[in-house]
Chain A
Amino acid sequence: MTSRWRWDYAWDVLPDLLVAFLKYTLGITLAAGVIAILLGLVLALGRRSDNMWVSRPTFWLIEFIRSTPIPIQLFFVYFGLASVGFRLSALVTGVLVLGVHYACYMAEVYRAGIDAIPPGQWEACTALSLSPQRTWRAVVLPQVIRRIIPSAGNQIIALFKETPFLIVIGVGEMVFVAQQFNSATFRAIEPYTIAGLIFLAASYPTSVLMRKLEARLAQ
Chain B
Amino acid sequence: MLNELLDAAPFFLRGAGTTLLYTACGAVAALVISFVLGLMSMSPSLWVRGVVRVIVEFFRGTSLVVQLLWIFYVLPQLGIKFEPLAAATIAFGLNFGAYGAEVVRGAVTSVPKAQWEATVALGLGKGHRMRRIILPQAIPEMVPPFGNLLIQMLKSSSLLFFVAVTELTYQVNQLRNDIGSLSAFTVALIVYFVLTQLLIVVMRVWEKRAAAKVGRGPKPVDVTMQGTMAAPSGAV
B176 within 8 A of A: yes
Bound form: Cα–Cα A164–B66 in Å: 8
Contact sample, A vs B, 15 pairs, CB 8 Å cutoff: A2-B77, A2-B79, A67-B196, A69-B154, A70-B155, A79-B176, A81-B182, A150-B229, A158-B235, A175-B63, A188-B73, A189-B78, A192-B69, A196-B63, A214-B229
Which of A41-49, A108-116, A132-140 is the interface stretch? A108-116
B233 within 8 A of A: yes
Q: Per a CB cutoff under 8 Å, which of B62, B169, B176, B233 touches A105?
A: B233
Task: Flag A132-159 by CB within 8 Å of B: 1 or 0 each.
Answer: 0000000000000001001100110110
Q: Per a CB cutoff under 8 Å, which of B73, B79, B158 touches A71?
A: B158
Q: A68 near B70 (CB under 8 angstroms)?
A: no
**Minimum C-beta distance from B95 to chain A (A):** 10
Q: B182 near A157 (CB under 8 angstroms)?
A: no
A165 CB contacts on chain B under 8 angstroms: 65, 159
A193 CB contacts on chain B under 8 angstroms: 70, 74
Q: B62 near A199 (CB under 8 angstroms)?
A: yes
Bound form: Cα–Cα A176–B20 in Å: 27
A75 CB contacts on chain B under 8 angstroms: 169, 172-173, 181, 185, 188
A218 within 8 A of B: yes
Which of B41-49, B104-112, B205-213, B220-228 is the interface stretch? B220-228
Chain A interface mostly: helix
A55 within 8 A of B: no
A67 CB contacts on chain B under 8 angstroms: 151, 155, 192-193, 196-197
Q: B155 near A204 (CB under 8 angstroms)?
A: no
Bound form: Cα–Cα A158–B156 in Å: 13
A-B Cβ contacts below 8 A, count: 162
A128 within 8 A of B: no
Q: Per a CB cutoff under 8 Å, which of A113, A167, A188, A204 touches B77?
A: A188
A81 CB contacts on chain B under 8 angstroms: 182
Among B60, B64, B66, B181, which residue has the most Cβ atoms of chain A within 10 A? B66
Q: B196 near A1 (CB under 8 angstroms)?
A: no
Known: A2-B79, A157-B236, A199-B62. 13 other contacts (CB 8 A): A3-B78, A64-B189, A67-B192, A68-B192, A68-B193, A72-B172, A75-B185, A82-B181, A155-B233, A168-B161, A187-B77, A196-B62, A218-B226
Q: A207 near B236 (CB under 8 angstroms)?
A: yes
Q: A residues within 8 Å of B by Cβ?
A: 1-4, 64, 67-73, 75-76, 79-84, 105, 108-109, 112-113, 115-116, 147, 150-151, 154-155, 157-158, 161-162, 164-165, 167-168, 175, 178-179, 182, 187-189, 192-193, 195-197, 199-200, 203-204, 207, 214, 217-218
B66 CB contacts on chain A under 8 angstroms: 164, 175, 178, 192, 195-196, 199
Bound form: Cα–Cα A72–B185 in Å: 7
Q: B residues within 8 Å of A by Cβ?
A: 57-58, 60-67, 69-70, 73-74, 77-79, 151, 154-159, 161-162, 169, 172-173, 176, 180-182, 184-186, 188-189, 192-193, 196-197, 223-226, 228-229, 232-233, 235-236
Q: Per a CB cutoff under 8 Å, which of A4, A147, A187, A207 touches B225?
A: A147
**Minimum C-beta distance from B167 to chain A (A):** 11
Bound form: Cα–Cα A35–B208 in Å: 37
> Lowest 6 A-B CB distances belong to which pairs?
A164-B65, A2-B79, A67-B196, A69-B158, A200-B61, A196-B62
